[in-house]
Amino acid sequence: QSSCVVPDDTSRIAKVDPTAAAARKEMVGLSEADVRMCAGFPTATADAGGSGQIWTYKRVVQRGNLSIVVPTLSVGPVPALGGSLNVAPGGYCDTQVRMVGGRVAEVA
């Protein structure tokens, strides 16, 4: 019998991008106006009570498209063969910024 267990500590598996880690630190202390001028208005906001406000930014990234079409043809007794393959690579980026007193306190 086998099982799949997710490890408690994934730091050795999922590496943190050094640029993202540096940006998280550098953004702390920026004003709300600074963040809006750089990143635009947040996609959503939530009141976190005494912990300030949470601003959420969501972005879908489209990175081109690849489409391959194989013509349909019959070869002797083999029935018609053909088809297509469509690959649309992309991704997403979700960022949460905690604002306290009008300034960035934390970036996740």
CA 87 to chain centre: 19
The predicted-structure confidence for 47-63, as pLDDT tens digits, reads as follows: 999 999 999 998 877 76
- pTM beyond 0.85: the answer is no
80-91 tens-digit pLDDT? 666 666 666 677
Distances (CA, A) of 11 to 8, 25, 52, 92, 107: 9, 19, 29, 21, 18
Task: Report domain extents, the chain.
Answer: 18-107
Q: Is the pLDDT of residue 39 over 70?
A: yes
Q: Which residue has the higher pLDDT, 11 or 37?
A: 37
